[in-house]
Amino acid sequence: EPEVTQTPSHQVTQMGQEVILRCVPISNHLYFYWYRQILGQKVEFLVSFYNNEISEKSEIFDDQFSVERPDGSNFTLKIRSTKLEDSAMYFCASSNRGSYYGYTFGSGTRLTVV
Amino acid sequence: DAKTTQPNSMESNEEEPVHLPCNHSTISGTDYIHWYRQLPSQGPEYVIHGLTSNVNNRMASLAIAEDRKSSTLILHRATLRDAAVYYCILRGSGSSGDKLTFGTGTRLAVRP
């Protein structure tokens, strides 16, 4: 069964450093997403991406965040200057659009900011 | 966003059926009812979805009320691997766009 692959599985970074989280979505999907889950809290939407541009973003997704699909297969989330409160599990997902389709999520990257 | 209401937690015995309820009284005509689950330390996993008719797949069944204001996810024989948080989510084409809005879900415990 096709999978969404995320790397690394765990990243530790110092506050103020830049991090890039990587994802390989399912190859024939057209819509890509990042979600995050702070420990013990709900899964929260960050951003959706289609046709090489952001289609929707949440209030969490401020100027410190950016997304890119640099080569037609990878989908990345960059956090420019990490804060302690950015510590969370970050999940990538992909889908074919339309309410009919389900999402496929990756297994996540645990980001720890120290 | 149209909201869903689920019990915080439920328990089941292994190999018995489990019925997980969800209320969505403000559902719109174009909203699909999606169910996801999240096993411990993993990402959410798609389970099933439907619009009006009941649906079956290899993981579960989805029973949708005639007025669509509630639905029930049915696991026919619970296993220990089914212990997870189950989310009922409405996915439509309204102003909320394409994103999934997760609530707190139902935490299912399965007793051996």
Q: Which band of pLDDT confidence, cut at 50, 70 and 90, is reported for residue A100?
A: low
CB B64 within 8 A of CB B52: yes
Low-confidence stretches of chain B (pLDDT < 70) are 1-2, 93-97
Contact A43 B102 (CB under 8 A): yes
Question: pLDDT value at position B2?
Answer: 64
Which pLDDT value is given to residue A99?
Answer: 55
> Which residue blocks in B45-96 are alpha helix, DSSP H?
none
Query: What distance in Å separates residue B96's CA from the closest CA in chain A?
Result: 9
- Rounded CA gap, A2 and A22, in Å? 17
pLDDT in tens, A39-66: 999 999 999 998 899 999 999 999 999 9
How many angstroms away from the CA of B12 is the closest CA of chain A?
A: 23
The tokens describing A32, both together, are 């890509």
Q: What is the pLDDT of residues A2-52, one digit of tens each?
A: 899 999 999 999 999 999 999 999 988 889 999 999 999 999 999 999 889
**A107·B42 Cβ contact <8 A:** yes
| Chain B residue set in contact with A, beta carbons under 8 Å | 30-32, 34, 36, 38, 42-46, 49, 51, 87, 91-93, 97-104
- Does residue A25 have a cis peptide bond before it, meaning omega lies within 30 degrees of 0? no
In A, what residues contact B, Cβ < 8 A? 31, 33, 35, 42-45, 48, 55-56, 58, 89, 91, 93, 95, 97, 99-100, 102-108
- pLDDT at site B95: 46
Quick one: closest CA in B to A40, which residue? Answer: B104
Output the six-digit token pair for B15: 């190999």
What letter would DSSP give residue A101? P
For residue B65, how many other CB atoms are within 10 A of its CB?
12
- Over residues A68-98, the pLDDT tens digits come to 998 878 999 999 999 999 999 999 999 886 6
Chain B residues within 8 A of A58 when measuring between CB atoms: 99
Compare CB distances from A31 to B30, B31, B98 and report the shortest one's residue: B98
